Amino acid sequence: MEKPVPAASKVMRVPRSLLLEITARCNLRCRYCYFFNNPAMVYRDLPAEEWLKFFNELGSLGVMKLTLAGGEPFFREDLPALIEGIVRNRMRFSMLSNGGLINDEIAAFMAGTGRCDYVQVSVDGSCAEVHDSCRGKGSFDGAIRGIRTLQRHGIFVAVRLTIHRNNVQDLENTARFLLEDLGLQDFGTNAAGYMGACCANAEDVLLNTEERQEAMAILLRLAAKYPGRILADAGPLADGRMWRRMEEARAQGKPAFYNGGRLTGCGCTSNKLAVRADGVLVPCNMLAHIELGRINQDSLVEVWQNSPALNQIRNRPAISLSDFEFCAGCPYTPYCTGNCPGLAYTLTGQVDHPSPDACFRQFLKEGGTLP
C-alpha cells in the first residue's frame, strides 16, 4: 500500500499568485526553450472565455497577482480582453516575453490599466550576433524595440539573461548595455537548463564546467561593480554565491544552515501555483508533468489545500539529503538545499531528489573551482 501523504503544515487558504501559460504559441523557437519539445506539455490554447471564467474564480478567492507566460503571451490577439478580466477581478499582472510582439498599442493599453507590475523581456547578449545565436534572426532587434516601447509607456521592464555557451564572453558588454545604455534598474540571470528544446541542443547550449566557472567569475565581478543590480535565483551567479557560503561554512566547521541538509530548495508551492496552456493545474511550469486538476472543472481551493501530489512536494523539506546515495559522504550536506525539483526531475527522473545540476560536489569533482 502506498504511504499516505500527510497534509503539509500551515498552508495558506489560497495561493497569492499564479503563473499562467496563456498560449502554447510563440513567434520564436529558442534553442534552449523549456516549453517546446517538452513531453509534459500539451500544445493547445484555451479560448478566452475559459480564462475569463477562471479569473472570476481567482478574483473571488482573493488571488493577488498573475504572471502571464507562454509560449509568447503577446501572441494572443485577445490579450486585452484577458487583461480586462484580470483588472475586473482586482488582481495585478506581469508578463514574461521575448519582446518581439510588443507594440505601442498594447503597451499603452497595459499602462492604462495601472495594474502591470512589470514585463520581463529576455535579452541574452549585447548585440544581435550573440542574442540571435540561440533565439533566431531578428530576435535581438525585436527584444530591444519591445523594451524601448515599454519604457516609453512607463512600464517597468525586468530583463532576464539566460546564460549559455555563446554568451559567456559577452557578459561584460551585456551588463554595460543593459544597465548603462538601456538604463535598466537591474536585470536577472539564470542558465539554460536541461529541459524541453534544450535537451536536443544540450551540446551546443549548456555550459560545461569550465564555462560555468568562467561565467561565475565574470558575474561575481560584475555584481561587485554594479551592486544590487545583477540578480539571480539560479544559474552561475546564484550558484557562485551559494557555493562560496557553503565552502566557507565547511572550512570553518560552522553549524548546519537553517534550511540545509534537506530538500528545501523550492518554496514555491507555499504561495504559488501554475496553469499549463491547456488549462491543467500544475505545481510549477518546471514540473508540468504533475497534473493536479483542470481549471473550471476542479475547485482551485480544493486542489490547493488537498491535492496529494502538491502536498508531497510541500513535504520535500522533510526528506534528508543523507538518505540519498547521490549525497553519501558529502561534506556540504549540512549547507545544501538540494535545489530545484524541476531540474532534479528532468535529470534523474525523480522529483524527490537533489538536482545534480546545482550540486557543488559534482562541480568540484568535474574539476571546477570557485572563483
Instruction: Determine if 108 is a binding residue for other proteins (CB under 8 A).
Output: no
Q: Which three cell numbers stand for residue 1?
A: 500500500
Instruction: Determine if 245 is a binding residue for ligand SF4 (CB under 6 A).
Output: no
Window of 5-13, 186-194, 215-223, 327-335 that interacts with ligand SF4 by CB under 6 A: 327-335
Binding to ligand SF4 in span 29-68, by CB under 6 A: 29-30, 33, 35-36
Applying CB under 6 A, among 8, 26, 79, 268 the residue interacting with ligand SF4 is: 26
Q: Which three cell numbers stand for residue 52?
A: 475569463
d(CA 162, CA 178): 14
* Phi, psi (rounded to 5 degrees) for 249: -65, -45
Binding to other proteins in span 60-89, by CB under 8 A: 62, 64, 87
Q: Which does 13 bind (CB under 5 to 8 A by kind): ligand SF4, other proteins, none?
A: other proteins
Nearer to other proteins, 62 or 367 (CB): 62
Q: Which does 62 bind (CB under 5 to 8 A by kind): ligand SF4, other proteins, none?
A: other proteins
Instruction: Determine if 328 is a binding residue for other proteins (CB under 8 A).
Output: no
The answer to whether 66 touches 18, Cβ cutoff 8 Å, is yes
* Phi, psi (rounded to 5 degrees) for 84: -60, -40
Count of beta carbons in the 10 Å neighbourhood of residue 49: 12
Instruction: Determine if 286 is a binding residue for ligand SF4 (CB under 6 A).
Output: no
DSSP for 54-102, please give it. Answer: HHHHHHHHT--EEEEESS-GGG-TTHHHHHHHHHHTT-EEEEEE-STT-
Instruction: Determine if 132 is a binding residue for ligand SF4 (CB under 6 A).
Output: no
Q: Which does 184 bind (CB under 5 to 8 A by kind): other proteins, ligand SF4, none?
A: none
Applying CB under 8 A, among 10, 224, 258, 329 the residue interacting with other proteins is: 10
- Are β-strands 157-163 and 187-191 bridged in parallel, bridged antiparallel, or unpaired? parallel
Applying CB under 6 A, among 28, 41, 159, 222 the residue interacting with ligand SF4 is: 28
Instruction: Determine if 16 is a binding residue for other proteins (CB under 8 A).
Output: yes
The answer to whether 277 touches 47, Cβ cutoff 8 Å, is no
Instruction: Determine if 112 is a binding residue for other proteins (CB under 8 A).
Output: no
CB of 287: closest distance to other proteins in angstroms? 23
Nearer to other proteins, 16 or 137 (CB): 16
The answer to whether 212 touches 163, Cβ cutoff 8 Å, is no
d(CA 270, CA 313): 10
Instruction: Determine if 225 is a binding residue for other proteins (CB under 8 A).
Output: no
3-state secondary structure of 275: strand
Q: Which does 26 bind (CB under 5 to 8 A by kind): other proteins, ligand SF4, none?
A: ligand SF4
Site map (CB under 8 A) of other proteins, residues 114-133, x = contact: xx-x----------------
| 131 Cβ contact list (under 8 Å, min separation 6) | 123, 124, 125, 139, 140, 143, 167
Residues forming contacts to other proteins in the complex (CB under 8 A) are: 10, 12-14, 16, 62, 64, 87, 90-92, 114-115, 117
